Amino acid sequence: MEQQKNTLADQKRKTVETAEFTEDGRYKRKVRSFVLRTGRLSEYQRQIMNDNWTSYGLDYQNEPFDFTKIYGNSQPVVLEIGFGMGKSLVEMAAQNPDKNYLGIEVHTPGVGACLAYALEKGVKNLRVMCHDATEILRDCIAENSLGGLQLFFPDPWQKAKHHKRRIVQPQFVENVSQKLQSGGFIHFATDWQNYAEQMLDVLQSMQSAVGIRNVSSTGDYIERPDFRPLTKFEQRGHKLGHGVWDLYFIKE
């Protein structure tokens, strides 16, 4: 099947490269503290972030988080990398009060929009970060502390010469697996078939080494589960005949 040229999530692409904030609000390199004077934040988003960061935001630190202290309970923590504008993440948190959610996004307007929607929905089991995801995984997340990892529609880096920039690589899967509790999950979704195939190859090749297994009955992809909200981009893509591939692995 020919690789799709028009994708349904182009407006929701996320990267996790280390950088400093650019003028359009994208993260370029490591920062020591949260900065609000970046990106195309609306005044409303800026006010939301200023007023609610202590309740919803977490800053990078060079030691593992105490999730029980942060959330006030010992419920499983699900980490999502690159939540875009945060609508689906907030909806999942609202629908699953028995879980805690931690979202990472490097686009400050997306963080602002997520916080605004979380306040609107009255969600309390959600925290967000605006920092490089690889550094957070390395320094802030203890081993065997996550109930799951979600990565939905990451930047596909379409050109073959750029595939090495894709976040889903063996080292990434190994790092994530170390952070998962037994029974924790890895859930990837993409609307690029070529990337879906690479994701599957990487996960399948790492199964024995890191102790994960594919839950797909066909040994490859699963149907979109009900617990992953259907985004407007997917709805539009379905109408245009675009495909979406979900991969779901469990740590033994």
**Which residues are the active-site residues?**
155
Phi, psi (rounded to 5 degrees) for 71: -95, -15
Whole-angstrom distance, CA of residue 71 vs CA of residue 191: 33
| Cα 56 to Cα 113: distance, rounded to the nearest angstrom | 12
Dihedral angle, C-alpha 65, 166, 125, 88, nearest 10 °:
170
Q: Which residues contact 104 (CB under 8 A, 6 or more apart)?
A: 16, 79, 80, 81, 82, 83, 128, 129, 130, 131, 133, 136
Q: How far apart are CA 202 and CA 159, in angstroms?
A: 18
Check if the beta carbon of residue 76 is closer than 8 Å to that of residue 147. Answer: yes
What count of other Cβ atoms lies within 10 Å of the Cβ of residue 238?
13
Show Cβ contacts of residue 173 under 8 Å, excluding neighbours closer than 6 positions: 186, 202, 203, 206, 210, 212
